[in-house]
Structure 1
Amino acid sequence: MPQDTQETKMEPGGYAFSRDGAKLYIRELLTDERLLVSPMLTVEHYDEEEEYPSSTSMVVAASELFAKAPVAAIDADIAERQATLADLNARINAARSEVYTVERDAKQQIEKLANFPKFDRLIDYLDGKITHFVVSDYQHAALIKTWDEFAVYREDGRDKGVKLLTLFGSSNGDTEWRLNDYRDGSGINRVCQPCTSEEEAKRVVGEWLGVAWKKFEPSRPWFIDGAIKSANMYGFPVPQHIRDTSAAHHFEARQRSIAKMEADLAALRARYEAEPLA
C-alpha cells in the first residue's frame, strides 16, 4: 500500500522518495500536483561520502512521491526463513569462536608440553606407536624389551590388558616413566622409557649408559656392574678406567673369596684330623 504523501509536507529544499526508493531533491513546487526534482548523487570526498543534487531536473507527479523511503514487503515465509538464517549464522559464529578458543588453548598446551620432551611419548602412547621399552632392572642398567614382553599383562597364559604406565614428575621439570607390574597399579613400578622403534631404544640405552659412566664412583665400583652388562649386551664401549676399576674390584673380591674358602677348608681339615676315626 502506498505511503501517504501528506504525512510530511513537501517543500522546496526538502527531500522525497520515488516508488523505486530513489532519493530526490525538491527544487520547486510547480503546482499542488507537480514538483520539480533532481536525483541525489553520492560521492566520496576525503574518505567520506557526501550527497548533492544532480544538475538534471525533472517534473514528477506529487502522487508518485513519498516523504519516507518505500520499504519492500516481504512474505511471511521469507521473513521466517531469514530469521532462521540469522539464527544459524549466529550459531556458526558462536561455534567458530568456540573452535578458536579450543585451538588457542590446545596451542598453549602444546607449547607447554614442548618444554618437556617426555610428554611426546604420551601422544605416541595414545596413538599406539610404542613398540619397545628401555628398562632398568636388578642386573642391567638398561635392557630393551618389546611392548608384548613388558607392557602386556598376562594371567594364566592369557593377555589381560596393559599394565599401568605412569609419568612421575616434579616442579623443577624432572620426569620419568614407570610401569607397574599389574594393571591396577600394584606391584613394583619399574623405571622405563617408551620408544617407537628398536633403533630409538638402542639410542636411549646409549644415553642411559652415558649418564651411568658420569655417575661412576671408584670407591663403590660394584654399582657399575649393571651398566657394564648392558654395554656388553648391546655393543656399547665401556670407558677403560671404569672397566679396569671394575675388573680389579672383582679380582680382589674373588681373591678374598678364595682365601676365605681355603681358610674354611683348612679349619675343616684340622677338625677332622683331630677327631678319632673310631
Structure 2
Amino acid sequence: MAINPDFEIGMELFTKDGRRVELLAVTVDGVYVVSQVLRFEDYDGGYGYSRGETTFEEELWSKAPVAVVDEEIAVAEKKLAEAERLRSVRLSEALNAEREVKDRLAKLSKYKGLEHLEAFIDGKITHFVDLYSYDILTAAQAIERREYGPKLLSLFGDAKGNLEWRVNEYKDGSGSWREMLPATSEEDAASIRSERLSSDLADAYFEEFKKKGRPYHFQTKFKAATKHGIPVTDQMRSDYADLAKIDLKKAEEEALRSCNQANERLARIRSELGV
C-alpha cells in the first residue's frame, strides 16, 4: 500500500468518515497508526485537546472528505426531508386534536346523561332501557319504526344541567316522549336498569308514598321491580298488598255502583214500556 510522503508523524489528518486524528506511526506494510483527537473545555472556558482511542487506518487525507451527491438525488432528499417535516407537523396536529376531543368528551361525560356520549358518537350504543316499562330494547327496537320511519331520539336538558335521552314515536316530534337510558351491551343495560329501578322504587316509596301519601308511583315501580327481579323489602311487599286490597275494594264498590245504576236504568225503561 502506497504511503503519502507528505504525511509526517504528529500531523493531524482525517479518516474517510471525517474523524480528526493524529498520525502516530506507519507499519511496515503501509498501515497508518492514528489516535482520535479529542477536544475538551477547560476551567477558563477555553478548549484543550487530548488523544482518544488508537486505531489502524489504510487511508488518510489532509482535509476531511466531503460526500458528493448527484444533483437529482440531492433535490429528492431535500423534498423527502420536507415531506417528513410536514408529516411530523400533521401528526402532531392530529394528536393534539385527538387529545382535545378526548379531554372535551371526558369533561362532558361527567354530566348525568352524557356518560355514554363517546360511545354514542362511535356507534357503540346497542341497547336502551325504557324507563316507562323498564324493558330492555335493542337500538333498532328503541329507535326504528317500520310503518312511519325512524323515531326521534333527542337529548333534553334544563338550566340546572339535568340531562336525559328521550325517544318520540314520530320523527317530527309530534308523538309522546319516553325517557331512555343508553347502554353498550345487554349486560350493561341490565346493570343500568337494576341500579335505576332500585333508586326509582326507593324514591317512589319514601318520597311519594310515605311522605306525600301518593301510592300510584310506588305501585307502578313495585310491579316493574318484581317483574324484572329487582329486590324489594318485606315492608314494601306488605304495603303493596295493603294498597292492592284497597284498590280491590274500590273496584268492587265501583262495580256495585255501576251495577245498581244499570238496574235502575233498566227498571225505568221497563216502567216506561209497561213491562
Question: Do these two structures clear the TM 0.5 threshold for a shared fold by scoring above it?
Answer: yes
1:177-192 matches, within 5 Å, as 177-192=165-180
Determine the structure 2 residue equivalent to 1:168: 156
In the aligned structure 2, how far is the partner of 1:104 from the partner of 1:127?
16
Partner amino acid, structure 1, of 2:145: Y
Q: In structure 2, which of residues 229, 235, 254 is the aligned counterpart of residue 257 of structure 1?
A: 254
Shift of 1:71: 7.5
Q: In structure 2, which of residues 229, 235, 245 is the aligned counterpart of residue 235 of structure 1?
A: 229
Determine the structure 2 residue equivalent to 1:109: 104
Q: In structure 2, which of residues 200, 203, 222 is the aligned counterpart of residue 214 of structure 1?
A: 203
User: Any stretches of 5+ residues in structure 2 without a counterpart?
Assistant: 1-11, 21-35, 52-60
Shift of 1:179: 1.4
Shift of 1:177: 1.1
Provide closer, same or farther for how the CA distance between residues 41 and 231 of structure 1 changes in structure 2, counting only shifts above 3 A: closer
Kindly provide the CA deviation profile for residues 45-98 of structure 1, in whole angstroms up to 9, marking residues without a partner as x: 4697724599xxxxxxxxx999xx998766433442343133223212311321
Question: Is residue 177–residue 193 contact of structure 1 (8 Å, CA) maintained in 2?
Answer: yes
In the aligned structure 2, how far is the partner of 1:104 from the partner of 1:250?
58
Shift of 1:276: 7.0
The structure whose RCO (Cα within 8 Å, separation 6+) is larger is 1
Partner amino acid, structure 1, of 2:228: Y
In the aligned structure 2, how far is the partner of 1:151 from the partner of 1:276?
58
Identity percentage of aligned residues: 31
Kindly provide the CA deviation profile for residues 238-276 of structure 1, in whole angstroms up to 9, marking residues without a partner as x: 422541453244134224414522542564466467657
Number of residue pairs aligned between Structure 1 and Structure 2: 229
What is the TM-score of this pair, normalised by structure 1? 0.62
Question: Is residue 152–residue 172 contact of structure 2 (8 Å, CA) maintained in 1?
Answer: yes
In the aligned structure 2, how far is the partner of 1:40 from the partner of 1:203?
73
Bigger drift between 77-86 and 268-277 goes to: 268-277
1:115 match: secondary structure? coil
Determine the structure 2 residue equivalent to 1:136: 131
In the aligned structure 2, how far is the partner of 1:167 from the partner of 1:47?
72
In the aligned structure 1, how far is the partner of 2:103 from the partner of 2:137?
35
1:60-139 matches, within 5 Å, as 75-116=70-111, 118-137=113-132
Question: Is residue 221–residue 249 contact of structure 1 (8 Å, CA) maintained in 2?
Answer: no
Q: In structure 2, which of residues 131, 146, 161 is the aligned counterpart of residue 154 of structure 1?
A: 146
Question: Is residue 156–residue 164 contact of structure 2 (8 Å, CA) maintained in 1?
Answer: yes
Shift of 1:176: 1.1
Question: Is residue 105–residue 118 contact of structure 2 (8 Å, CA) maintained in 1?
Answer: no
Kindly provide the CA deviation profile for residues 170-217 of structure 1, in whole angstroms up to 9, marking residues without a partner as x: 454422111122345543332111233434333333333321331332
Question: Is residue 221–residue 245 contact of structure 1 (8 Å, CA) maintained in 2?
Answer: no
What is the TM-score of this pair, normalised by structure 2? 0.63
Partner amino acid, structure 2, of 1:149: Q
Provide closer, same or farther for how the CA distance between residues 106 and 121 of structure 1 changes in structure 2, counting only shifts above 3 A: same
Partner amino acid, structure 2, of 1:86: A
Partner amino acid, structure 2, of 1:208: R
